[in-house]
A and B are shown apart, each in its own frame.
Chain A
Amino acid sequence: MADLAFPYVTAAVALPLAGAALAAANETRARMVSMAAAAGATLSSLGAFLAVERAGGGRLDEPWGLSLFSADPLNATFLLLYSLLTLGILVLAPRRDATSKINAATLLVLAATLAAYGADNVVVLAIGWVVSALPFIAGPFHGTWRPRVGLMLSCLALVGALGIIANAAMTDRSAHPLSLAALQGHNYGGAAAFAMLMAAIVFRKGIFPAHAWIEDAAEAGPVLPFCLFLNGHLGAFLLARVVIPEFPLSARGAFPILSDLALFTALYAAVRAVAEGSARRILALLVLSQSACILAGLESATQEGITGALVHCIVVAAATTGLFSVLRLMEVRFGRSFTAAEYLGLARYTPRLAVLFAVCGLALVGLPGTLGFCSEDLLIHGTLVSHPQIGLLLPVATAMNAVSLFRLFSKIFLGARAGGVYGVTDAVPRERWVLAAIALFLVVAGLTPATILGFRTQAAQAAQAPPHEKAGGPLPPAPHSAILAESCPAGICR
């Protein structure tokens, strides 16, 4: 197996950790330190991304005897995207949201999330998962009780599941009992571990009925770090990284139920957003709905659906970062949280922020010419092929999301000017450049999606399940067509 030329993933995790310590200690230069650390993490992630692309899509281990992390097509894009989004948020965050404490906690979330992405070891994965949630459970970002409970349950379920898996692997005298790569197809821990992993995903992703904490966290907590946390999509990543490779048959058996639940959540959140008043809750519900679509795509067992889901992860992350950022910038300018109760007419003061909000929103709901259109097209195709009746809910949910988003846009930016509003400034350069980069990425990648789709297709193949699971040693992976044939007897997937 090939190695990376440099321990890029270790560097991407270590730099934000060091940056968090420095930012916490240095109040006056916290912002500069944080941006430098995030930029360092971005460069390291870019190094890993390019190395994986040069290697043609295989898995690359870290050099110098570091065996905690690895890079492959599935995690390389996540590493780069998440680092970039964190850097963007640190650059555009309003001054009141860029204190040393908040920046240090943001960098901690970044380091932990990157560790979870790059983990080649169940312990590292568990640590990354738990530490990324810590600031929202007991740290500076903690909110009301429901987010704390939801995240705690998710952490407990994951730690419990990974503990059971590691214990079973040790009992089975596996050569590398803690290595994720060595666990593929073994079904260590059986139904108990599988159920706990699924519970961790359900709580982390906010799948019905464990969805309400997402709204509460968005409403009461600091919105930019929460957006960053949500866009980690660690639940979907866990599904692709651990559940499908580790428990292929159990996963295949449970997928129809999970897929239906995810689609139901997508529709539930979409309906819920229709009459919601709070702007933050509306955006949270839209993210919830679109994130559930990602899970539905992953569980469709078709390559179109899985590729669409992996691309949609990128779209949701970029677009919702843009949306939440514009919302937060407008809140700071306007002086209060927004409700969808009255028209505020702020577009006359902030036309560029309004346009950037609209572009990100339209990309999120799949406007042609944006990357969202490609991912939605693949997602809808994949889910309709695997579940024709239930799959119809996906375009319905997306249509309702678009309606809610346009309502929110029109209430904030259009209509008669609200009384007492004066002198609201449009995007300042550091905000404009970050948001324009996000919007441009969504449009340019949408016009020329082949590159991203090609890379994500490799990731989809990497996330495909091996053919059998057993209590003993690993089996060689089956060709993709065999898996599709098994999951799709009619042959329409082929």
Chain B
Amino acid sequence: MTDQQAMLLFVVFGPGVVFFGLALLWLLGWNAPERFLSRVTAVVYALETAAVAWLLWLVAGRGEPAVVVALGDWFAVHDYQFPLVLLGDALSLSFLTLTVVLVGVIGQFSSTYLHRDPGFGRFFLLLHLFAFGALLIFSAGSFDLIIGGWELVGITSVLLISFFHFRAGPVENAWRVFVVYRACDLGLITAAFLLHHVGHVSTFAGGMPHVEGGTATLVGLLLLLSAAGKSAQAPFSGWLPRAMEGPTPSSAIFYGAISVHAGAYLLLRAQPILLASPWAGAAVMVTGALTAVLGTLAGRACPDAKTALAYASLAQVGVIFVEIGAGLHWFAVLHILGHAAVRTLQFLRAPSTLRDFHQMHAAAGGQVTPTGKHLERVVPTRWQLWLYRCAIDRGHLDTVLEWMIVRPLCGLSVLLARFDQVGLPARAPAPAPGVVRGNEAIGKQGVLHG
């Protein structure tokens, strides 16, 4: 194994090892003190940053070939293998650098921001798991491995949205985000299978599997479904404002920087497939353009800073999708890197928005008086009310999804429940506290009987 390969392994698996170590110790009863967690995080990400910077310098600066680490098959049955291949090319290393730098920054910010919060340890555990998932996505040399990182990022995202789990709101919103994630992940799973089935290989470390025609369109659209879900593109944009229930540092790293751009990375990685299918490329552009318009519109009617930032972020990612669909590969990468850095800063400053405004107001001698009327002036009056209603309902996307998917599914579920109860007496209502159904004895609330 060369130094570059060892370094890439360290960069990708470092946060994973930290997570598993800390989680195991916690399960065995040890609660790590805040200072320990902060220092471990600082040291790990400082080393990671140095390592990935060196790799980036070698590959992008000196033009050395991409780093490929083939770790064999994770598992293999008959003719089916799950290859463990890591790829460190210029695209991967750009995203790896972005991830380790921003996670390190967020770690430092959070050690102060979440000081004495009861969930301090939990936050850092999830931050390491998220970093591991994101690094796995960006360094994966196969779509199978991307799925692994994709799911880890999804579950940590949901767990951080419900970080303040003692309130019903964040939990409810986390569940809704989880639903969208799981539904859209089906696209990536099916696309990976199709590539395996048609191309007979799912790794792209040695070049993307060759697909064309209808297959390329189908795979491209499936990848777009997954990317749209992860990057909150239309019609799945409704989850992004819900995700703002999490703590500010997690909002910054997930929805300002890394997670929200994971969908764009997937499409960048699948660029040869999109180029092979004009329809899929056009679909990417249309999705991005629609989202950009929607994000701009909805963002202007948001009542709080974080949601406004979320929609601004969404609009920019929409533009990035347009760039990817148009084949402006490296322009989109630069756009992502710049956008992620700026948006992270904005999210981290969001709790101080009022203070910043007052400071700016005072510095300008009390002359800053925003009118809130710029684009509105060019819109006919009779359209303004309609657009406003559309903006405050966030493009009616959630409403449409609820009417078209959620309600029919719940209705079907209730119908099936009735079918299962045919011939039985109606189910008893939920029992009163203290009374146990069936063969259970009557217990006392909150008393340990075990």
Q: Which residues of A contact B446 (CB under 8 A)?
A: 333-335, 420-424
**Which of B2-10, B46-54, B180-188, B294-302 lies on the face that meets chain A?**
B180-188
> Is the CB of A385 closer than 8 A to any CB of chain B?
yes
> Is the CB of A332 closer than 8 A to any CB of chain B?
yes
Contact indicator B165/A341 (Cβ below 8 Å)? no
Bound-state Cα–Cα, A460 to B166, Å: 47
Q: Which residues of A contact B149 (CB under 8 A)?
A: 368
Kindly report which residue of chain B lies nearest to residue A356, judged by CB atoms.
B27
Question: Which among A335, A402, A422 has the highest number of chain B CB atoms within 10 Å?
Answer: A335
Fill in one digit per residue for A324-348: 1 if any B CB lies within 8 Å of its CB, else 0.
Answer: 0000010111111101010101011
> Is the CB of A25 closer than 8 A to any CB of chain B?
no
How many A-B pairs with Cβ below 8 Å? Answer: 193
> Is the CB of B304 closer than 8 A to any CB of chain A?
no
Contact indicator B438/A333 (Cβ below 8 Å)? no
Bound-state Cα–Cα, A268 to B417, Å: 10
> Is the CB of A26 closer than 8 A to any CB of chain B?
no
Kindly report which residue of chain B lies nearest to residue A411, judged by CB atoms.
B171
Contact indicator B75/A384 (Cβ below 8 Å)? no
Contact indicator B80/A334 (Cβ below 8 Å)? no
**Which of A104-112, A183-191, A243-251, A269-277 lies on the face that meets chain B?**
A269-277
* Chain A interface size, under 10 / 10 to 19 / 20 to 34 / 35 or more: 35 or more
Fill in one digit per residue for A414-437: 1 if any B CB lies within 8 Å of its CB, else 0.
Answer: 111100111111001001000010
Bound-state Cα–Cα, A332 to B417, Å: 27
Contact indicator A95/B449 (Cβ below 8 Å)? yes
Kindly report which residue of chain A lies nearest to residue B150, judged by CB atoms.
A368
**Which of A158-166, A193-201, A253-261, A375-383 lies on the face that meets chain B?**
A375-383
Contact indicator B449/A94 (Cβ below 8 Å)? yes
> Is the CB of A62 closer than 8 A to any CB of chain B?
no
**Which of B33-41, B190-198, B357-365 lies on the face that meets chain A?**
B190-198
Bound-state Cα–Cα, A431 to B162, Å: 26
Kindly report which residue of chain A lies nearest to residue B193, judged by CB atoms.
A384
Q: Among B417, B420, B450, point to the contact of A431 (Cβ < 8 A).
A: B450
> Is the CB of A352 closer than 8 A to any CB of chain B?
yes
Contact indicator B417/A336 (Cβ below 8 Å)? no
Contact indicator B182/A403 (Cβ below 8 Å)? yes
> Is the CB of B179 closer than 8 A to any CB of chain A?
yes
Q: Among B28, B77, B162, B197, point to the contact of A410 (Cβ < 8 A).
A: B162
Q: A143-B439, A335-B444, A416-B167 are in contact. Are A492 and B197 (CB under 8 A)?
A: yes
Contact indicator A331/B417 (Cβ below 8 Å)? no
> Is the CB of A96 closer than 8 A to any CB of chain B?
yes
Taking CB atoms and an 8 Å cut-off, the chain A residues in 116-154 that contact chain B are 143, 146
Contact indicator B416/A221 (Cβ below 8 Å)? no
Contact indicator A399/B449 (Cβ below 8 Å)? no
Q: A143-B438, A414-B165 are in contact. Are A449 and B182 (CB under 8 A)?
A: no
> Is the CB of A453 closer than 8 A to any CB of chain B?
yes
Q: Among B79, B183, B186, B410, point to the contact of A274 (Cβ < 8 A).
A: B410
Contact indicator B185/A368 (Cβ below 8 Å)? no
* Chain B interface size, under 10 / 10 to 19 / 20 to 34 / 35 or more: 35 or more
> Is the CB of A170 closer than 8 A to any CB of chain B?
no
Contact indicator B436/A415 (Cβ below 8 Å)? no
Q: Which residues of B contact A271 (CB under 8 A)?
A: 409, 412-413, 416
A272 to B: closest C-beta gap in Å: 5
Bound-state Cα–Cα, A381 to B200, Å: 13
> Is the CB of B144 closer than 8 A to any CB of chain A?
yes
**Which of A1-9, A47-55, A212-220, A470-478 lies on the face that meets chain B?**
A212-220
Bound-state Cα–Cα, A493 to B197, Å: 10
> Is the CB of B152 closer than 8 A to any CB of chain A?
yes
Q: Among A96, A385, A423, point to the contact of B197 (Cβ < 8 A).
A: A385
Q: A368-B148, A416-B166, A453-B75 are in contact. Are A336 and B443 (CB under 8 A)?
A: yes
B187 to A: closest C-beta gap in Å: 10
> Is the CB of B293 closer than 8 A to any CB of chain A?
no
Q: Which residues of B contact A329 (CB under 8 A)?
A: 450
> Is the CB of A374 closer than 8 A to any CB of chain B?
yes
Taking CB atoms and an 8 Å cut-off, the chain B residues in 75-96 that contact chain A are 75-80, 82
Q: Which residues of A contact B186 (CB under 8 A)?
A: 395-396, 399
Q: Which residues of A contact B447 (CB under 8 A)?
A: 333, 335, 423
Contact indicator B436/A275 (Cβ below 8 Å)? no
Q: Which residues of B contact A378 (CB under 8 A)?
A: 77, 80
Contact indicator B437/A381 (Cβ below 8 Å)? no
B10 to A: closest C-beta gap in Å: 18
B24 to A: closest C-beta gap in Å: 8
Bound-state Cα–Cα, A414 to B175, Å: 11
Bound-state Cα–Cα, A212 to B423, Å: 11
Bound-state Cα–Cα, A392 to B194, Å: 11
Contact indicator A368/B152 (Cβ below 8 Å)? yes
> Is the CB of B147 closer than 8 A to any CB of chain A?
yes
Q: Among B183, B410, B445, point to the contact of A334 (Cβ < 8 A).
A: B445
B298 to A: closest C-beta gap in Å: 26
> Is the CB of B404 closer than 8 A to any CB of chain A?
no
Q: Which residues of B contact A460 (CB under 8 A)?
A: 77
> Is the CB of B189 closer than 8 A to any CB of chain A?
yes
> Is the CB of A362 closer than 8 A to any CB of chain B?
yes
Taking CB atoms and an 8 Å cut-off, the chain B residues in 423-448 that contact chain A are 424, 430-431, 433-441, 443-448
Kindly report which residue of chain B lies nearest to residue A332, judged by CB atoms.
B449
Q: A275-B413, A395-B190 are in contact. Are A333 and B448 (CB under 8 A)?
A: yes
Q: Which residues of A contact B162 (CB under 8 A)?
A: 410, 414
> Is the CB of B43 closer than 8 A to any CB of chain A?
no
Contact indicator B430/A339 (Cβ below 8 Å)? yes
Bound-state Cα–Cα, A352 to B82, Å: 32
Contact indicator B77/A336 (Cβ below 8 Å)? no
Q: Which residues of B contact A307 (CB under 8 A)?
A: 77-78
Kindly report which residue of chain A lies nearest to residue B430, judged by CB atoms.
A339
Contact indicator A406/B158 (Cβ below 8 Å)? yes
Bound-state Cα–Cα, A272 to B434, Å: 28
B197 to A: closest C-beta gap in Å: 7
> Is the CB of A355 closer than 8 A to any CB of chain B?
yes
Kindly report which residue of chain B lies nearest to residue A343, judged by CB atoms.
B168
> Is the CB of B178 closer than 8 A to any CB of chain A?
yes
> Is the CB of A450 closer than 8 A to any CB of chain B?
yes
- Further contacts, 19 of them, CB under 8 A, given A334-B445, A336-B431: A95-B449, A220-B437, A334-B446, A335-B433, A335-B446, A345-B166, A362-B155, A369-B148, A374-B82, A380-B189, A380-B193, A392-B190, A402-B182, A410-B175, A414-B165, A415-B171, A417-B166, A422-B445, A428-B448
Task: Give 15 pairs: A residue, B residue, CB < 8 Å, sorted on A.
Answer: A94-B449, A271-B413, A274-B413, A395-B190, A399-B186, A403-B182, A410-B162, A420-B433, A420-B446, A424-B446, A428-B450, A449-B74, A449-B75, A450-B75, A494-B79
Closest 8 interchain pairs by CB? A368-B148, A275-B413, A94-B450, A335-B443, A220-B438, A414-B165, A303-B78, A274-B413
Query: Which residues does A use to contact B, with CB under 8 Å?
Result: 94-96, 143, 146, 211-212, 215, 219-222, 268, 271-277, 302-304, 307-308, 329, 331-337, 339, 341, 343, 345, 347-348, 352, 355-356, 362, 367-369, 373-374, 377-378, 380-381, 384-385, 392, 395-396, 399-400, 402-403, 406-407, 410, 413-417, 420-425, 428, 431, 436, 439, 449-450, 453, 457, 460, 492-494
